[in-house]
Structure 1
Amino acid sequence: MSKSKPTLKSHLEELKCHFTWGLQEKDADIEELEERLKIQLEYLNKNLKVRVYSMLAYVNHLKNDYTEAIVNLQKAEAILTESKVLETDIKYLLTFSNYAWLHYYLNDSESSQLYIDKINAIYTQSKGLEDLVQSETNGEQGWALMKFCGQYYERAKGCFEEAVKGNPDDPEWNTGLATVVCRLEEFRGRNCPAFKSVSFQLLERAVKLNPKDSVIKVLLALKLQELKRQEEAMKHIKDALELTPDLPYVLRYVAKFYRRAGKFEETIRVLKKAVSITPNSGFLHHQLGLCYRQMIIQRKRTGKANYRGQDTQEIKDLTEKAIFHFEMALEMKKTFLHAHFDLADMYVRSNQYQKAEETYKKATELITTPEHEKQQAHLQYGKFLENSKKSEDEAVEQYKEGLRIPDQNTHRQECEMCLRRIANQRLARNSRDTSALALLGFISKENQDKSNALNNDSSNDEYLSKLFDLKLK
Structure 2
Amino acid sequence: MSTISNNSLKSSLLQLECHFTWTLLKQDVDLDELEETIEDQVKFFITSNIRNYNLLSYVCHLKNSNEEALKNLQIAEEEIKKNHPDEIARRSLVTWGNYAWIYYHMKRYEEAQTYVSKVKDSCKELSSTAQRKIQLPDICAEQGWAFLKFGRKYYERAKNCFENALKNEPNNPEFNTGYAIAMYRLENFFYSQCEDRSLSLELLKHAVELNPKDTFTMALLALRLQDVERVDEGEQYIEEAMQKTPDFPHFLRYAAMFYRRKGDVDKALEILKNALRVTPKSSFLHHQVGICYRIKLFQLKKTTRYPPQEQVEELIRLAIFHFKTAIDKKTKFFHACVDLANMYVQGKRYEEAEEAFQKAFQINILSNDDKQQLYYHYGNFQRFHMKLESEAIRYYREGLKIEEDSYARSKCSNALNELLGWRIQRGLGDATDFGTLGLIHNLNGEKQEAIECYEKAVELHPDNEEYLSALCELRLSLSS
The TM-score normalised by the length of structure 2 is 0.88
Q: Does 1:319 align with 2:316?
A: yes
Give me the whole-angstrom Cα distance separating, in 2, the residues matched to 1:152 and 1:432.
44
Task: Pick the aligned partner of 1:177 from 175, 179, 194.
Answer: 179
In 1, are the aligned partners of 2:420 and 2:429 still within 8 Å (CA)?
no
TM-fit CA distance, 1:89: 4.1
Q: Does 1:371 align with 2:371?
A: no
Match of 1:136 in 2: 138
Instruction: In structure 2, give the amino acid aligned to 1:149.
Output: G
Give me the whole-angstrom Cα distance separating, in 2, the residues matched to 1:321 and 1:439.
40
Q: Does 1:358 align with 2:355?
A: yes
Comparing 103-112 with 49-58, which one deviates more in the overlay? 103-112
In 2, are the aligned partners of 1:19 and 1:101 still within 8 Å (CA)?
yes
Aligned length: 467
TM-fit CA distance, 1:14: 1.8
Match of 1:465 in 2: 464
Classify the secondary structure of the residue corresponding to 1:212. coil
TM-fit CA distance, 1:181: 2.0
In 1, are the aligned partners of 2:192 and 2:406 still within 8 Å (CA)?
no
Comparing 427-436 with 313-322, which one deviates more in the overlay? 427-436
- Residues 1:298 and 1:128: Cα distance change in structure 2 (over 3 Å): farther
In 2, are the aligned partners of 1:437 and 1:463 still within 8 Å (CA)?
no
Task: Pick the aligned partner of 2:341 from 335, 341, 344.
Answer: 344
In 1, are the aligned partners of 2:249 and 2:278 still within 8 Å (CA)?
yes
* Cα distance per residue 1:324-345 (max 9 Å; x no partner): 1111111111211111222222
Give me the whole-angstrom Cα distance separating, in 2, the residues matched to 1:396 and 1:77.
57
Classify the secondary structure of the residue corresponding to 2:15. coil
Match of 1:396 in 2: 393
In 1, are the aligned partners of 2:423 and 2:429 still within 8 Å (CA)?
no
Match of 1:246 in 2: 247
- Residues 1:314 and 1:468: Cα distance change in structure 2 (over 3 Å): closer
Match of 2:256 in 1: 255
Give me the whole-angstrom Cα distance separating, in 2, the residues matched to 1:371 and 1:430.
34
Give me the whole-angstrom Cα distance separating, in 1, the residues matched to 2:416 and 2:346.
25
Give me the whole-angstrom Cα distance separating, in 2, the residues matched to 1:137 and 1:451.
56
Unaligned runs of 5+ in 1: none
Comparing 139-148 with 387-396, which one deviates more in the overlay? 387-396
Instruction: In structure 1, give the amino acid aligned to 2:364.
Output: I
Match of 2:149 in 1: 147
- Residues 1:190 and 1:327: Cα distance change in structure 2 (over 3 Å): same
Instruction: In structure 2, give the amino acid aligned to 1:390.
Output: K
Comparing 5-14 with 78-87, which one deviates more in the overlay? 78-87
Match of 1:111 in 2: 111
Instruction: In structure 1, give the amino acid aligned to 2:148.
Output: M
Comparing 88-97 with 197-206, which one deviates more in the overlay? 88-97
Match of 1:33 in 2: 34
Q: Does 1:434 align with 2:465?
A: no
In 2, are the aligned partners of 1:432 and 1:460 still within 8 Å (CA)?
no
Classify the secondary structure of the residue corresponding to 1:457. helix
* Cα distance per residue 1:403-456 (max 9 Å; x no partner): 343444343344344334433433333397333234346769999999986553
Match of 1:81 in 2: 81
Instruction: Show the 5 A alignment for 1:37-436.
Output: 37-45=38-46, 47-86=47-86, 89-127=89-127, 133-187=135-189, 190-194=191-195, 196-303=197-304, 309-430=306-427, 433-436=430-433
Give me the whole-angstrom Cα distance separating, in 1, the residues matched to 2:398 and 2:37.
33
Instruction: In structure 2, give the amino acid aligned to 1:59.
Output: V
TM-fit CA distance, 1:112: 1.7
Comparing 121-130 with 318-327, which one deviates more in the overlay? 121-130
Instruction: In structure 1, give the amino acid aligned to 2:459.
Output: N
- Residues 1:84 and 1:252: Cα distance change in structure 2 (over 3 Å): same
Comparing 54-63 with 354-363, which one deviates more in the overlay? 354-363
TM-fit CA distance, 1:70: 0.5
- Residues 1:6 and 1:322: Cα distance change in structure 2 (over 3 Å): same
% same residue: 39
Instruction: In structure 1, give the amino acid aligned to 2:140.
Output: N
- Residues 1:417 and 1:299: Cα distance change in structure 2 (over 3 Å): closer
Instruction: In structure 2, give the amino acid aligned to 1:197.
Output: S
* Cα distance per residue 1:252-293 (max 9 Å; x no partner): 112112222333332222211111111110100111111122
- Residues 1:195 and 1:148: Cα distance change in structure 2 (over 3 Å): farther
The TM-score normalised by the length of structure 1 is 0.89
In 1, are the aligned partners of 2:81 and 2:88 still within 8 Å (CA)?
no
Match of 2:16 in 1: 15
- Residues 1:92 and 1:195: Cα distance change in structure 2 (over 3 Å): farther
- Residues 1:296 and 1:429: Cα distance change in structure 2 (over 3 Å): closer
Give me the whole-angstrom Cα distance separating, in 2, the residues matched to 1:77 and 1:56.
13
- Residues 1:404 and 1:198: Cα distance change in structure 2 (over 3 Å): same
TM-fit CA distance, 1:191: 3.1
Give me the whole-angstrom Cα distance separating, in 1, the residues matched to 2:268 and 2:13.
48
Give me the whole-angstrom Cα distance separating, in 1, the residues matched to 2:110 and 2:449.
65
Aligned residues: CA RMSD = 3.1
Give me the whole-angstrom Cα distance separating, in 2, the residues matched to 1:431 and 1:383.
20
- Residues 1:371 and 1:141: Cα distance change in structure 2 (over 3 Å): same
Give me the whole-angstrom Cα distance separating, in 2, the residues matched to 1:417 and 1:265.
34
Classify the secondary structure of the residue corresponding to 2:192. coil
Instruction: In structure 2, give the amino acid aligned to 1:63.
Output: K
Instruction: In structure 2, give the amino acid aligned to 1:14.
Output: Q
Give me the whole-angstrom Cα distance separating, in 2, the residues matched to 1:169 and 1:212.
16
- Residues 1:354 and 1:446: Cα distance change in structure 2 (over 3 Å): farther
TM-fit CA distance, 1:180: 2.2
In 2, are the aligned partners of 1:184 and 1:192 still within 8 Å (CA)?
no
Match of 2:478 in 1: none
TM-fit CA distance, 1:461: 4.4
